[in-house]
Each structure stands twice: as C-alpha cells, then as structure tokens.
Amino acid sequence: MSVLGLIVEYNPLHNGHIYHFNTSLNITQAKNSVCVISGNFVQRGEPSVVDKWARTRMALESGIDLVIEIPVIYCVQSAEFFAYGSISLLQSLGIIDTVCFGSEIGDVKLLNKIANIISTEPYEYKKYLKQELTSGKSFAQSRANALLKYLSKNDTDHLDYNMLNSMLQSSNNILGLEYIKWLIRLNSSIRPVTIKRLSSNYNDTILIDNLSSATAIRKSLKLGQFDLLSSQLPDSSYEILKRQFETDKGPVFFEDFCQSILYILRRMSLREISEIMDVNEGLEHKIKKAAISSCTLEELISDIKSKRYTETRIGRILIHSLLGLTRDQLLRLKEAGGPQYIRVLGFSEKGKELLHRMKKTCTLPIITNTADYKRYDNKYLHEMIELDIRATDIYNTVHKNPHLRKGGMDFYKKPEML
C-alpha cells in the first residue's frame, strides 16, 4: 500500500493545505499519509500560533494518518537544514513512497534539473557562488545569481532566465529544491512530486477569497479578527483554534517573547552572542547595540537586518538566543548524521497500522512516550530531544493563564489519537 509523505507546519492548517493534501492523494494514489511537522517554533523564525498538539489534531481531523515532530534543532533553520532534517525523517521510516510539496513553479522536472546542480555542485557553479557571497548578498540571492551564470554557459534547454530568477527567489520553490537535493544526496527511493500553489503567495498579508496564506491568517489573528477566518479554514481547524483561544492557549505571537529576548541579549556578553547559532561576521556587535536601544521586537529586527541578513534569518537567530541554541551545539549534532528519533505526536487507526509496520522498517527509535528516550544510550538523541522539551517549556511561558505555564508538558501529554 503506497504511503504519501508531507512536510508541513500548519500554522494554522487552512483551505490551501486541504487542497494540497487532497490533490497529493489524487496524484500519487496513496492510501496512507504521514506528515512531519514543526513543533512549537517554525522555520520562518517565530513561534506557532497554537502548540504542536493542537496542530497535530488539525492534521488528523483533516485526514492525515500519522504525525511526527521535526526536532527543533532542524525547525528554526535555513531551508537547507530544515529540508535535511525533514527528508531524513521521512527516509528513516522505510515506508514512504512519495513526498509531495507545494511550489510556486509547480514543475518538478525543472526543480529536479536545478536540484541536481546544487546537489552535485560543479566546480564552475561553486566558483560563481563564492564570488556572489563575497559581495554581501543573501545566500538565496547569491545562489540564484550563481545558478543563472552557470546555466548561461551550460544550459541546453534554453530556459527563460527571467522566469528562472523569479523562481529562485520564491520561498516554496527554494524549499522544494532543498527537498529534492537531499533526496539525491541521501540516495533516497522516495519520489518527489510538486503541486502549484493556488491564489495567494506564501507571504501575502491580505485575506483573499477562501484561499488566503497562513501569513494573512496570522495577521488577522493578531488584529483580533478571528471571526473573519471561518471561510479560510476547514471547520475542524476553526473549531480547534476556537477551543484553544477560549482556554487561553493562544494565539501565541513572536512579540509575546519580546521581553525575554531583550533580557537574554542584554544580559549576554559579546562573546556569548557570537556563539549563538548562525551569528557570524561580527553580527554580535549589531545585535548587542540593537538590544540596548530597541523597545519592541519589530525595532530589534529592523535595526539588525541587512541585505545579507534578512528579516527571517534574524528572526531565527532571535529564536536561537531564546532557546539557547549555539553554533557548537549545531556542529556537534551534525555529527549525528540527522534526526536520532521518531517522535510521534498523533495517529489515526490507519496511522496505528503504519506504526506497527514501521517497527520492521524504521531505522530510528520510535518514541510515543517522551520519558522513554532515557532508555537509549545515545548522547545525540538525548541532547536533541531535550532541546524539544526545552522549546515546549519556553513556549508555554507566554500563556495568559498562569496555570498553563507549567513545564514538562512533553512528559505528560500523550499523542493525539483519532
């Protein structure tokens, strides 16, 4: 029986996600589905509006069979490292036949062509990339320019370079390239499939018809316009959000952590800031100065960002500071060779059957009860999952109801079941 793999955040799960899921099932003819999902902090460098268990429930009620958490060390990272963690997880399950992702271009053949270049890194391409990076541009822009230069001399398909340049700047295309790159590098038998995104773009901030972006939906939540979202979300997601908000379990926004982040950065020395994951090239001086002068998170990010360090990248660095993620820690955990465990957040009856099947195929320990991680004699596993536990404990500190701020939720919260 074929199994579909999805890489998601569902922050929150909306109509566009339902379209993607149903179309994925139709294209692949898969009978079962597994998604790997970001935990309480997401790839764009901010907290999720509701916690990972609420978003797991949304996934299950929308038809997904098994939900697995992406370790936080991979969640709040660049597209490359996020994709590596996600694809590695799907690969380790031993049951996934296809991975389907949304993209602005919707052309898997073209994505495969570009992914092969960035995967194999021909000498000429690497030379162009190095030249572009030294000019102070962001990595995404540098890579796009390097690819265009490389293809101008090596392309036999006569691609439209204006289209290609636009494609290489789009967030979901970039993620799609990274997914395929890691499938190639991991020598995976999982087949990539892409679906062209409908209507709104990933970063659109205005509600459009009934297919708005998650960014626009979160903006409406921030403005207190929850009632406007009934047409943007499937009924199950809307009701889950409503219950979460009625019990003071959200919405959670990046600004809620402003005081904690300012406190941490003002307390840290320049040396300590320089050790935060992804802080390079003397950025610690700019961060320290901005932390002293800023009163809001918006001011802080605005004062730090540059052509090379985008707003999203700065957001991730601030989350790294909040969670205490250091460069040395990342280098150490890279030695592990990918995620070290399968953390089950929820499953349906069909998902339970998949878990039974995975006992014979999975190359990593399957953890449904968090406390069980202590049974494994693996220092990388311990460090990685303890970061997930820390992330949940920190996330819970901003709940309005003080009784919800208790730590250790990962230990007493059971997987969601449908």
> Based on the domain organization, do 244 and 258 belong to the same domain?
no
Q: Tell me, yes or no, whether 182 and 71 share the same domain.
A: yes
Q: Which domain holds residue 286?
A: 254-326
pLDDT of the residue at 136: 80
Q: What is the pLDDT of residue 205?
A: 58
| Residue 65 belongs to some domain of the structure | yes
Q: 85 with 156, same domain? A: no
Does any domain span residue 218? no
On whether both 240 and 348 belong to a single domain, the answer is yes
Judged by average pLDDT, the poorest of 28-42, 177-191, 326-340 is 326-340
- The alpha carbon torsion through 24, 27, 31, 34 (nearest 10 deg) reads -30
Mean pLDDT along residues 211-234? 93
Same domain, 95 and 24: yes
Same domain, 191 and 265: no
Tell which of 326, 356, 373 closes a domain.
326
Rounded to whole angstroms, the Cα distance separating 43 from 240 reads 22
pLDDT digits (tens, 9 = 90+) for 3-25: 999 999 999 999 999 999 999 99
Average pLDDT over residues 288-305: 98
| Confidence (pLDDT) at 211 | 82
Domain presence at residue 216:
no
pLDDT averaged over every residue in the chain? 95
Confidence of residue 38 (pLDDT cuts 50, 70, 90): very high
Give the residue ranges of the annotated binding site. 7-20, 102, 172, 197
Query: Is 115 inside any structural domain?
Result: no
* Per-residue model confidence (pLDDT) at position 188: 98
* Stretch 263-268: mean pLDDT: 99
Label residue 199 by pLDDT band (50, 70, 90). Answer: low
pLDDT at 19: 96
- The answer to whether residues 91 and 195 belong to one domain is yes
* Domain-located, residue 242: yes
* pLDDT 10s digits, 140-175: 889 999 999 999 888 777 778 788 888 898 999 999
Tell me which of 59 and 138 has the higher pLDDT: 59
**Cβ(310)–Cβ(22) under 8 Å?**
no
Among residues 264, 295, 326, the one where a domain terminates is 326
State mean pLDDT over 114-141.
92
Claim to verify: residue 145 and residue 240 sit in the same structural domain: no
> Are 181 and 81 members of one domain?
yes
Query: Reduced to 3 states, what is the DSSP secondary structure of residue 117?
Result: helix
If one counts the domains in the chain, the total is 3
Residue 52 belongs to a domain: yes
CA 353 – CA 142 distance, rounded (Å): 45
Mean pLDDT computed over 82-107: 98
Q: Of 326, 358, 380, which residue sits at a domain end? A: 326
Residue 75 lies inside a defined structural domain of this protein: yes
Residue 14 lies in a domain: yes
Please tell me the predicted confidence (pLDDT) of residue 140: 86
Q: What is the mean pLDDT of residues 86-109?
A: 98
Give the separation between CA 179 and CA 200, rounded to whole angstroms.
22
User: pLDDT band for position 239 (50/70/90)?
Assistant: very high
182 and 78: one domain?
Answer: yes
Same domain, 148 and 47: no
Do 395 and 356 share a structural domain?
A: yes
Tell me which H or E stretch contains 92.
helix 79-93
Residue ranges of the annotated binding site for ATP are 7-20, 102, 172, 197
